[in-house]
Amino acid sequence: MKNQLFIFSLILVLGTNLFAQSLDINGYVRSYLGVLTNDTNDYSINQNTLDLKLKRVDDNVSFFANPYLVQTPNQDVRLGLREAYMDVYFNNMDLRIGKQQIIWGKADGMFITDIVSPKDLGEFLLRDFDEIRSGITSLKANYFLGDNTVEMVWIPTFTPTKMPDETSIWSRIPEFPLSITIDESQKEIPGRLENSEGFVKFSGMSSLLDYEIMAGSMWDDDPTLHIVPIITVDNPTPSGLMLIPIHHQLTLVGGSFSSELGGVILRGEGAYYMGKQLSALNPEQLNLPTSLLEKDYAHYLIGTDFSIGTTRLSTQFIQRAILDYDDSIIQEELDNTMTFLANRTFLQETLTLQLFGYFGLNNEDALIRPSLTYDLADGFEINAGANIFIQNEDSENIGQFGYYDDNDMVYVKVKYSF
């Protein structure tokens, strides 16, 4: 830890001395406290964050770094580097080299074509936008043709979705009828050229329509669980299950659009994924989920943004459909989700009231997120809110939101941006 603090201090010294004339330093300090509303009243989160954004721009080059420190009481201080990249600007082309977040698509809070940067689900979906995506070391090239852009991304080393720690309240371990053992020996994707990922996007902006068309060859950010029954020579009946998470390769094509029609913004996004490995029940092994079936699936949404008076509203309908479906597959053939957002400001935009919700239509579960933000002064805000998980106990399955029904919480964040 001392080494980490030394590096962080070095960054600060470099920032304030070597580049003092032209280094742009911004960031924020934030205190964040969340309390579970169940019987325990445990703190769901209690942390202080220092987030720095360092930027220097010269004529045709620039660099940007976003180091951060997170301090949790009675734990070591955690140092991270969200992004650190260099830009090179040409007449019609930009190059970005280094660790960077790459965000695609027109959806809000959903990941359909926005799959270049992996997710950090350490706190499920509750983190702020810039914290829920992990930076990836990559080379990004943008070539500009008027209001159209060709973007190509090469990611030499695969980075998976970051899952919660096993002890976290956000950890989710699948339930099986037998005891399980987890073997993570095959989870790593070796860093070599043939294991790199590539994406390409063609996008355009016009008065009528904004659009993106994309394709990618990638590793599935979420590993497939290969489930092997544990049997002995003496007893052919499985005594347990070995879970072996393995990332498989995926190919996808997709696109998105956004347009205004009569004061209403219409948005759409969709992707066709080829070669997804899906767990399925195996009738030859006591109907345990030990089979894998390779299927294609489609993931798409339609959404609108509009205003009623001074209240801004947004809603999205999202569907994931497994094609050539087999009844043995554990996931449902169609998975439907909706989102809803309402936002209104008061007192010359110093007070913001917001309500955001995810609604799982298959299992009638939800995550409701009301919040109130007050700007005490320029750059200084207090944000209080709640994260309410709803589960329908009559539903056959537990949805991704209903699973955390015991994790309802209230929180307060105090943030000073500089």
Partner 1 sequence: MKILKSKLTIFALISGLIFAQDLSGLEVIQNVYNRPTGNDMTGNLVMTIENSRGNQRVRKIKQYLKDFGKDEKKIMFFLSPADVKNTSFMTWSYDDESKSDDQWIYLPALKKVKRISSDSKGDYFMGSDFTYDDLGDRHPMDDTHTILREEVMGGKETIVIESIPKDEEYMYSRTVTWVMKDTWIGLKKEFYDEDDDLLKILTVDAQKSFGDVIILTKVKMHNIQRNQFTIMEFSNVEIDKGIPNNKFSERMMKRGI
CA distance 401 to 125: 10
Least separation in angstroms between residue 150's CB and partner 1 is 12
Give me 282's structure tokens: 């195996």
Smallest distance, partner 1 to C-beta of residue 321, A: 26
**Six-digit token string for 201:** 């996007």
H or E element that contains 2: helix 2-13
Nearer to partner 1, 143 or 170 (CB): 143
Closest by CA to 376, choosing from 411, 412, 335, 416, is 416
Could you list the residues that contact partner 1 (CB under 8 A)?
26, 28, 87, 89, 94, 101, 103-106, 128-130, 142, 144, 147, 149, 203, 205, 207, 210, 258-260, 262-265, 305-307, 310, 312, 345, 348-350, 377-379, 381, 415, 417-418
Dist. CA 86–CA 55, nearest whole Å: 10
Contact 150, 92 (CB under 8 A): no
- Per DSSP, the residues of 5-54 read HHHHHHHHHIIIIITTTTEEEEEEEEEEEEEE-STT--EEEEEEEEEEEE
Beta carbon nearer to partner 1, 44 or 113: 113
The CB-of-159 to partner 1 minimum distance in angstroms stands at: 17
All residues at 6 or more sequence positions from 292 whose CB lies less than 8 Å from its CB, including other chains: 224, 226, 277, 278, 279, 280
C-alpha span between 298 and 337 (Å, rounded): 14
Q: Give the residue with the Cβ less far from partner 1, 178 or 313.
A: 313
Shortest Cβ 55–partner 1 spacing (Å): 9
Provide the minimum distance between the beta carbon of 106 and partner 1 in the complex, in angstroms, as a whole number: 8
Q: Which is nearer to partner 1, 305 or 408 (CB)?
A: 305
Q: Under a CB-based contact definition with an 8 Å cutoff, are residues 389 and 404 in contact?
A: yes
| Residue 250 Cβ vs partner 1, minimum distance, rounded to whole Å | 23
Single-letter code of the amino acid located at 204: G
Min CB(83)–partner 1 separation in Å: 10
CA-based nearest residue to 245, from 160, 303, 317: 160
Region of residue 412 (left: phi > 0; alpha: psi -120 to 50; beta: else) = beta
State the nearest-atom distance from the C-beta of 128 to partner 1, in Å.
7
